[in-house]
Amino acid sequence: MKKFVLFIFLFINIFVFSNPLEDTFKFLNVKYDPKEINTSNNFEVLSIKDINSNECFIKIHWNIKNIFLSGTRVLLNNGNGFKIIKSLSAFQNSVSIKVLKNKKNSFIIQNYDKDGSIYNSTIKDVYIFYNNEKNKIISYKNKKFLIYKNLFEKNKNTLIYFGKKEEDFLEINALNLKSNSIVFPIGYTSDSTIASFVKERTKVSFINSNISFNFETKYPLISPEITKSGFHEIFPIIPASYISKKLNLNFNSINIRLFYKNEFKDESYSELWKVKPKFSRQTYEEEAMILHKKISGIRYGYRIPEKSINTEVYNKKRKAIIFVHGIQINRYLENFFKEKFPWRTLQRFGTFNNFFRYIYENDEKFKNFDFYEFIYDSHTMTAKEFGKKLYELMEKGKFKDYKELYFISHSMGGLVTRYALNFSNYTNIVNIINIDAVNYGSSLQNLIELFAYKSFDEKIDENIESAIKILENSLNDTISQKKLNLDNELKILFKTYPYLIPAILSEYNILDTFNGGYSIRSSNTKKLNKLNNTLFKKNLFTPSKDIINLNKNDKYLNKLLLIYSKIDDYDPIVTFNFSHSVLEFFGRITNSSKYEIENDGAVTVASQMMYGYNVRRDSNYINGRNHETFFNDYKMITELLNKYVLINY
Please determine, for residue 128, whether its predicted confidence score (pLDDT) is greater than 70. Answer: yes
Which residues touch 43 (CB under 8 Å, ≥6 apart)? Answer: 60, 61, 62, 107, 109, 122, 124, 161, 163, 164
More reliable by pLDDT, 13 or 69: 69
Please determine, for residue 646, whether its predicted confidence score (pLDDT) is greater than 50. Answer: yes
CA distance 221 to 380: 12
Give the ranges where 383-534 is alpha helix by DSSP (H): 383-396, 412-421, 460-479, 487-496, 500-507, 515-518, 525-531
- Mean pLDDT on 480-486: 79
Neighbours of 511 (CB within 10 A): 21
pLDDT at 32: 40
Q: Are 611 and 592 in contact (CB under 8 A)?
A: no
Mean pLDDT comparison of 195-204, 283-292, 368-377, highest-scoring range: 368-377
Average pLDDT, the chain: 82
For the residues of 8-68, what is the DSSP string, one character each?
Answer: HHHHHHHHTSSS-HHHHHHHTT----GGGS------EEEEEEESSSSEEEEEEE---S---
Residue 598, SS3 per DSSP: coil
More reliable by pLDDT, 607 or 458: 607
Residue 512, SS3 per DSSP: coil
Residue 422, SS3 per DSSP: coil
Q: Are 432 and 417 in contact (CB under 8 A)?
A: yes
- Mean pLDDT on 370-379: 96
Angle at 63 between CA 118 and CA 29, to 5 degrees: 60
Q: Are strands 560-563 and 616-618 parallel, antiparallel or unpaired?
A: parallel
Q: Are strands 136-140 and 94-100 parallel, antiparallel or unpaired?
A: unpaired
Neighbours of 79 (CB within 10 A): 9
Distances (CA, A) of 398 to 38, 97, 534: 62, 72, 51
Q: Lowest mean pLDDT: which of 327-341, 407-421, 573-587?
A: 327-341
**What residues are paired with 562 via a beta bridge?**
434, 617
**What residues are paired with 121 via a beta bridge?**
110
Banded pLDDT at 53 (limits 50, 70, 90): confident
Please give the single-letter amino acid code of residue 99: V
Please give the single-letter amino acid code of residue 113: D
Banded pLDDT at 292 (limits 50, 70, 90): low
Please determine, for residue 464, whether its predicted confidence score (pLDDT) is greater than 70. Answer: no
Q: Are 369 and 317 in contact (CB under 8 A)?
A: yes
Write the pLDDT tens digit of every residue in 577-606: 889 999 999 999 999 999 999 999 999 999
The domains located in the chain, with CATH, are 43-264 (2.60.40.10), 443-542+570-592 (no CATH)
Give the ranges where 487-573 is alpha helix by DSSP (H): 487-496, 500-507, 515-518, 525-531, 545-553
Nearest residue to 56 via CA among 95, 85, 96: 96
Q: Lowest mean pLDDT: which of 415-424, 502-511, 517-526, 574-583?
A: 502-511
Please give the single-letter amino acid code of residue 444: L
Report CA 72 to chain centroid distance, whole Å: 42
- Mean pLDDT on 252-274: 84
Banded pLDDT at 33 (limits 50, 70, 90): very low
Nearest residue to 501 via CA among 474, 526, 476: 474
Angle at 522 between CA 183 and CA 437, to 5 degrees: 110
**What residues are paired with 599 via a beta bridge?**
604
Q: Are 518 and 226 in contact (CB under 8 A)?
A: yes
CA distance 123 to 119: 14
The torsion of the CA quartet 99, 101, 103, 109, rounded to 10 degrees, works out to 30
- Mean pLDDT on 87-111: 87
For the residues of 126-171, what is the DSSP string, one character each?
Answer: EEEE----S-EEEEETTEEEEE-GGGS-TTS-EEEEE--TTT--EE
pLDDT at 257: 83
Write the pLDDT tens digit of every residue in 198-242: 887 777 776 555 667 777 788 888 999 898 889 999 888 766 666
**What residues are paired with 98 via a beta bridge?**
57
Banded pLDDT at 463 (limits 50, 70, 90): low
- SS3 per-residue string spanning 552-578: HHCCCHHHEEEECCCCCCCCCCHHHHH
Helix axes 487-496, 460-479, angle to 10 degrees: 150
pLDDT at 14: 40
Q: Are 174 and 459 in contact (CB under 8 A)?
A: no
Banded pLDDT at 297 (limits 50, 70, 90): confident
pLDDT at 286: 66
- Under DSSP, the state recorded for 536 is I
Helix (H) or strand (E) holding 393: helix 383-396
189 CB burial (10 A radius; 0-12, 13-18, 19+): middle
Q: Are 515 and 382 in contact (CB under 8 A)?
A: yes
Neighbours of 285 (CB within 10 A): 15
Residue 607, SS3 per DSSP: helix
455-492 per-residue burial string, b: 16 or more CB within 10 A, e: under 16: eeeeebeebbebbbebbebbeebbeeeeebebeebbeb
CA distance 252 to 179: 9
Distances (CA, A) of 141 to 124, 562, 593: 11, 53, 54
Q: Are 328 and 377 in contact (CB under 8 A)?
A: yes
